[in-house]
Structure 1
Amino acid sequence: MRFPRSIRLDESDVSVFESAAAPGEWAVSGAFAFSQLTPEDLQGKTRQAFAHGFLGLESFGRSTLVTVTDIDRESYEGIIDLLARHFVEHYGAPDMAAARPAAEEEAAFAASLCDHPINTLLAVSRELEDRGIVESFRVITPEGPKSHAKIWEIVEQESDPDDDALQNES
């Protein structure tokens, strides 16, 4: 089975969302979080989260992109339990038994988005229309086995006295 995990290609999520999901968190669409909002409520960072954010399931922060990954059955069941508890604690579900079907539906929907090769990136776009929230998903397919890896990294080097001398001469 496959499931989405949040991924961060740069630090923009930290700036654009009220709370950014950490890289590697399991994630769902999370559109349910906006079901009671009006167009007037969708301003600033809330608007960004609504328009382009997946919901990370550890921090309950948002992520612009998720990546398709494998998930084992135990982790998948843990996601359902976590979501059900979240529905009870934050959305007024009366108990875990009542919340579980909604959590199962949300998890199943997230898994259904992942009918793609591992490391495929997904992006969400949402609009509020007369009929409710409408989501569309963009699929960004990896071109090779090393796609979606770091493009660069900063490597600390020990200073060489000869290098310092050369830098000071120029």
Structure 2
Amino acid sequence: MNLARAIHFDESDQRVYANPARTGEWCISGGFEFSDWTDADLTGKARQAFANGWLGLETGGRVTFVAVTTVAPGELTALTDLLAEHFVTYHGAPSVDQARPVAAEEIAQMTDLCEDHPPNTLLTVARELTQSGVREAYRVIETKDAGLEQFAIHGSTDESGSD
């Protein structure tokens, strides 16, 4: 099963996002955070987070590029719990137990997006506000011999977390 990790090619994300994601952390689209935004919210660094930022699950930060990476089933459970906690802390969900199904759905959408791509495929997201809400479009950048192993940080697929 595949998911995506934050990847940085330079320091630009440190400048364009108020809260940049950490290199190597697992990411999802995170478009739900903008569901009640209007044009008035789209200024400065918030605009950049809206327009092109993936959501880091550990920091809640944003990143421009993610790389498809294999994820272990045990990690998905932990990430689902982490996102459920995020929903409680930042979005008013009544409890982690009640937020868990929504978190699982968000993670499943990201695994579906990543599933047909080989490791190290890069993904970007572009968002816009429309009459019916936030519209997301994804771009796939295949790495064909790009040597991304020198940039991408991969975690262990061992559920114990050891490499």
What is the TM-score of this pair, normalised by structure 1?
0.85
The aligned counterpart of 2:104 is: 104
Match of 1:143 in 2: 144
Partners of 1:32 and 1:118 lie apart in 2 by 26
Q: How many residues align?
A: 150
Summarize the Cα distance change of 1:148–1:40 in structure 2 as closer, same or farther, 3 Å threshold.
farther
Match of 1:26 in 2: 26
Query: Which structure is richer in relative contact order (CA contacts within 8 A, separation 6 or more)?
Result: 2
What code does the residue aligned with 2:150 have?
A: A
* Superposed CA offset, 1:63-93 (max 9, x none): 0000000000111111100000110111011
Identity %: 49
> Shift of the alpha carbon at 1:148?
6.0
Shift of 1:33: 1.0
Q: CA deviation at 1:147?
A: 3.5
Q: 1:12 Cα shift?
A: 0.4
Which residue of 2 is the match for residue 124 of structure 1? 125
* Inter-partner Cα distance in structure 2 for 1:15 and 1:60: 16
**1:59 alignment partner in structure 2:** 59
* 2:70 matches 1:70: yes
Could you say what secondary structure the match of 2:139 adopts?
strand
Moved beyond 4 Å, runs of 4+: none
Superposition deviation, residue 144 in structure 1: 1.7
Q: Determine the C-alpha separation between the residues in 2 that align with 1:63 and 1:145.
A: 20
Flag structure 2 segments of 5+ consecutive residues without an equivalent: 152-163
Aligned counterparts of 1:49 and 1:146: Cα–Cα separation in 2: 28
TM-score by length of 2: 0.89
Which letter does structure 1 place at the counterpart of 2:92? G
Distance 2:78 2:39 in 1: 34
